[in-house]
Structures are given as C-alpha cells and as structure tokens.
C-alpha cells in the first residue's frame, strides 16, 4: 500500500514561545493550527511544518519526525509488522486521526498517519 503524501514534518520545541517567535516573526510563517503549548502547525509553501513540545514526540525520537499520510493505517501497520519493521508506538488523536510510529533501518523515527473520517 502506497503513501498518499507527506503529511508534515515537525521539530521539537524546548521553549514554545521562543520557537513561535522564531517561526512566525523571524521566518514569517502564519499558524494554521495551534494546541496551546503542545503544538503549532504552519503552511510552509503547501507543506505542513510543525513545532511540537517534548510531550508530542515519540519516546526515543531525536531531530525531525516525518509524518506520511496513508489511506488505511491498520493494513499498513500489519504489512510493516510482517516485514519486521520496528513499531514503537500507536496513538489515537481523537478527531485528528491516528498515528503509528516506526523506526527506519537507520534508526530514524517516522510516523504513518490516517485522518479520522467524518461521520
């Protein structure tokens, strides 16, 4: 099953206010969505870029995390598990959707994401 698109890339913020100042005032990005001190997402030329608090990062992840949107997360997770890919976490984000965090062969963490379908 193929990836639909790169959903977003996010980086860790130790100080959300300082990070927001940098990305908004210095780089000129406008926020698309914010969740208090946990998360802020920007449109960076048609690509989602976000800054997340340490609470938003998968345990053990360092650096940036790429998030790939997939049409069927359950099927993709089964395929990856069957291929021996290390799956480190899954998360239900309510109305936003669900993610599964996996580790690539080089030790980089990435996430697969499926949007919550509207009722």
> Which CATH number fits the domain that encloses residue 27?
3.10.180.10
Strand partners, 112: 68, 100
pLDDT in tens, 96-111: 999 999 888 767 788 9
Q: Using the predicted structure, report yes or no on whether residue 92 has a pLDDT greater than 80.
A: yes
The count of structural domains within the chain is 1
Angstrom distance (rounded) from CA 109 to CA 74: 18
Distances 47 to 7, 69, 73, 98, 99 between C-alpha atoms, Å: 7, 12, 21, 19, 18
* 92: containing domain: 5-115
Q: The whole model's pTM is what?
A: 0.69
For the beta sheet containing 39-43, the strands, ordered from the edge strand earlier in sequence to the opposite edge, are 31-35, 39-43, 48-52, 5-12, 65-69, 109-115, 97-103, 86-92
pLDDT of residue 2: 82
Which has the minimum average pLDDT: 55-59, 60-64, 75-79? 60-64
């Amino acid at each position: 099953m193929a990836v639909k698109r790169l959903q977003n890339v996010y980086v860790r913020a130790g100080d959300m206010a300082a990070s927001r100042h940098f990305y908004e005032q210095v780089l000129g990005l406008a926020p698309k969505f914010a969740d208090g001190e946990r998360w802020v997402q920007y449109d960076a030329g048609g690509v989602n870029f976000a800054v997340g608090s340490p609470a938003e990062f998968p345990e053990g992840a360092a650096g940036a995390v790429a998030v790939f949107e997939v049409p069927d997360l359950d099927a993709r997770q089964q395929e990856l598990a069957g291929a021996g890919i290390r799956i480190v976490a899954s998360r239900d984000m309510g109305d936003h959707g669900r993610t599964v965090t996996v580790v690539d062969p080089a030790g980089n963490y990435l996430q697969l994401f499926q949007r919550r379908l509207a009722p």
